[in-house]
Amino acid sequence: MDIPFSLAGRTALIAGASSGFGARFAELFAAAGARVVLGARRTDRTAELADKINASGGQAMAVPLDVTDEASIIACYDAAEATFGTVDSIVANAGVAATGRSTDVPADRLQALLDTNFKGVYLVAREGAKRLIASGSREKENGRIVIIGSITSRLTGEGDSAYAASKAGVTHLGRNLAREWVRMGVNVNTIHPGYIPTEIQGDWYQTPGGEAQIAGFHRRRLQDIESLDPMMLYFSSDASRMVTGSDIIVDDGQSL
């Protein structure tokens, strides 16, 4: 695994670490030297991943985390601090989809999506910032928060309006939080991945519709999950000390 930026000495909290992006980021951050806290509701998966990381010489712990529940978020940070110290690299990654035409998506599914994709990002970032500021981040300039957006926030289409709007919302949230904490040594940046095959899409890309979508990309291919590694490490490391309020597209040219 290529490690362009070191996270040695850092404690990282990955929200939504049980699969997909989150699981990848957990292994990546551990390989880069961070102490990694794996937060998710599916603790059986995060426990297995933490065991794998620890067996490979890393430092990881699995902690229950429901990003829609502030008490769960506080308990997760408490557990992280008790074992590894202050969390200074935070990845707000947890997300769900509510596919279907907007006229068909039930209100309860819409609410669940907004609770996870927007409220969850807000609460995870806010709790992390509170603790960083209390620990002296203004002087240390060590706070790093990375929000996982999506290129759908810049596009229009059918079947993912609520998801796309939630990602557009957290993009603007990220810039506002960056502005609010700019003098507190807490940097907030957003990465917009393109279409990458993960568990959330199921077998879509093996269907005729999915194959047609891939054929419509300029490079006629899906993006590799590893393509996010350099930017994730950069935004989470000391190297990005003077970068905050950015939102960066990493999508293999899919949105061009």
Q: Indicate which residue of 163, 195, 205, 234 is catalytic.
A: 163
Give the β-pairing of 89-92 and 247-250. Answer: unpaired
The C-alpha R_g of the chain, in whole angstroms, comes to 17
Q: What are phi and psi of 223, to 5 degrees?
A: -80, 145
In a 13 Å sphere around the CA of 196, the CA atoms on its Cβ side amount to 20
Phi-psi group of 89: left, alpha or beta (phi > 0 → left; psi -120 to 50 → alpha; rest → beta)? beta
Q: Is 195 a catalytic residue?
A: no
Chain centre to alpha carbon of residue 38: 12
Phi-psi group of 185: left, alpha or beta (phi > 0 → left; psi -120 to 50 → alpha; rest → beta)? left
Q: 81 is written with which tokens?
A: 């601090």
The amino acid occupying position 159 is G
Residue 174's H or E segment, with its range, is: helix 161-180
Residue 16 in contact with residue 39, Cβ under 8 Å?
yes
The amino acid occupying position 109 is R
User: What are the catalytic residues?
Assistant: 163
